[in-house]
Amino acid sequence: MRLPSFLIVAVLVLSVPGSAFQKLPSTPHSLDYKETVLPNGLRVITHEDHSTPVIDFQIWYHVGSKDEKAGRTGFAHLFEHLMFQGSAHVKPDEHDKIITSAGGTSNAYTNDDVTVYYQTFPANYLEKVIWLEADRMASLNVSEEIFKREREVVKEERLTRVENPPYGDLVEQLYAAAFEEHPYRHTTIGSMADLNAATIQDVRDFFKTYYVPDNATIVISGDFAPETALDMVKNHFGGIPKSQQAISRNNVQEPRQQKEKRNSRSKPVPLPAYVAGYHIPQDGHPDAYPLTIASMILSQGHSSRIYRSIVYDKQLAVEAQASANFTEDPNLFFSVLIMNRGASIEEGEKAINEELMKLTTEPVTDKELEKAKNSIRSDYTFGRQSVHQKGQALGHGATIHNSVASANREYDLFMKVTKEDIMRVAKAYFRPENRTVVIVNPPRRGN
């Protein structure tokens, strides 16, 4: 279906005088990799790419904010900060210093499901990086003083990201309202009260429970010989023992939402804002692929439905988006609006809901479906150019889908999505009773 009309475009272009060559539609290269599991359970994935003498090394720990215990929201992320604060043979902050002085970058992120440490560096530093990462997996070493100071840094991070920007807490409000039971009801940054309540004993317990080789995946991408890299990993990580107890997981099921929830408040924001979340299944669920295509048809690019209708034609909003947040457990499909000056939330909500509902009653056009698939094709190419991007794709497949192969296989699942699939998932999830709405309005002026 997609090919013919695509070729028409190509043919038209080729008919312009002077054009001398013809190319077939480019398809994304699939990522080649090798996967090995060491006796202690550590999974190692290598991907060779010799185009630049650079290597990206990532270590994915399968622990995120959804694994935090009650009263300790924000802890997984606070812990991530502490991983930079020293181990048996590495002084506080020395890990970062070594990478930085080589011209590399080193950082980490925590989300609901995973904590990922990564560094991109000149290729000759590979063994040094492996040694550094092994040392902190084997022997985190953080003092009470450093723990307290780093907690202040994380509290500043919360102020910077959530409390000071005008719309910083909108997402936090939405999740708190949309989820009743599942730990996704709190965001990764956590609350000030819980951050204050955390202790060094928590640090110790968390490390012992989750920072074990059988809960980790290493992804090395770039300019190296895979056998040599694997030997280095075995040499430095091989002696770290696997966990002695089962890794505890929060297996909470979110009860099915029965009716629409609405939460409206007044806050000194510059323009009114609206965010709605619809419960959707987890990453890798068969419905995830048509939902992704639906979100692209709705709001990717200036020719998308929501941009065209709400931003361009009706000029109701300065920002209008619909997108899915796919995670290990079921999450939300968002629709978001920041209104134009003078436009009301009511008009905006009506317009964006119309766009979502239209997907439940009318099939998308062939052209729209083809456009979305071309965009996926393009994302798989442009989004997998650097060694870091490649490592992200492989690590995500391994950790979230428990299948490295999914990093390549999902492409075909996107390509197989039909118009009927899109209508089916729209009907299944874009229902008012499945929706949570959070609205902020600036206070009325003049008093």
Within 267-286, the residues that bind another protein by CB under 8 A are: 268-271
DSSP for 310-330, written as a single string: IIIIS--EEEEEEEE---SS-
Q: Is 294 helix (H, G, I), strand (E, B) or coil?
A: helix
Single residue of 104, 277, 290, 397 touching another protein by CB under 8 A: 104
Minimum Å distance from CB 247 to another protein? 16
Question: Which one, 302 or 444, has the nearer CB to another protein?
Answer: 302
Angle 175-327-202 from CA coordinates, rounded to 5°? 75
In one letter, which amino acid is 379?
D
Nearest to 119 by CA among 135, 107, 102: 107
Minimum Å distance from CB 25 to another protein? 5
Single residue of 21, 39, 265, 444 touching another protein by CB under 8 A: 21
Beta bridge partners of 90: 87
Single residue of 65, 221, 299, 300 touching another protein by CB under 8 A: 300
Alpha carbons 343 and 445: distance in angstroms, whole number: 15
Question: Which one, 72 or 377, has the nearer CB to another protein?
Answer: 377
Single residue of 1, 11, 25, 264 touching another protein by CB under 8 A: 25
Question: Which one, 267 or 424, has the nearer CB to another protein?
Answer: 267
Minimum Å distance from CB 437 to another protein? 20
Alpha carbons 234 and 80: distance in angstroms, whole number: 24
- The answer to whether 378 contacts another protein (rule: CB under 8 A) is yes
- The answer to whether 70 contacts another protein (rule: CB under 8 A) is no
Question: Which one, 110 or 399, has the nearer CB to another protein?
Answer: 110
Question: Which one, 164 or 447, has the nearer CB to another protein?
Answer: 164
Minimum Å distance from CB 8 to another protein? 11
> Contact at 8 Å (CB) between 274 and 295?
no
Alpha carbons 5 and 367: distance in angstroms, whole number: 8
For residue 288, the surrounding DSSP H or E stretch is helix 288-299
Residue with tokens 């694997």: 230
In one letter, which amino acid is 377?
R
- The answer to whether 11 contacts another protein (rule: CB under 8 A) is no
- The answer to whether 221 contacts another protein (rule: CB under 8 A) is no
Site for another protein in 340-359 (CB under 8 A): 340-341
Minimum Å distance from CB 177 to another protein? 23
Alpha carbons 220 and 118: distance in angstroms, whole number: 10
Nearest to 41 by CA among 229, 241, 231, 226: 241
Question: Which one, 304 or 331, has the nearer CB to another protein?
Answer: 304
- The answer to whether 367 contacts another protein (rule: CB under 8 A) is yes
Minimum Å distance from CB 1 to another protein? 14
- The answer to whether 139 contacts another protein (rule: CB under 8 A) is yes
> Contact at 8 Å (CB) between 332 and 281?
no
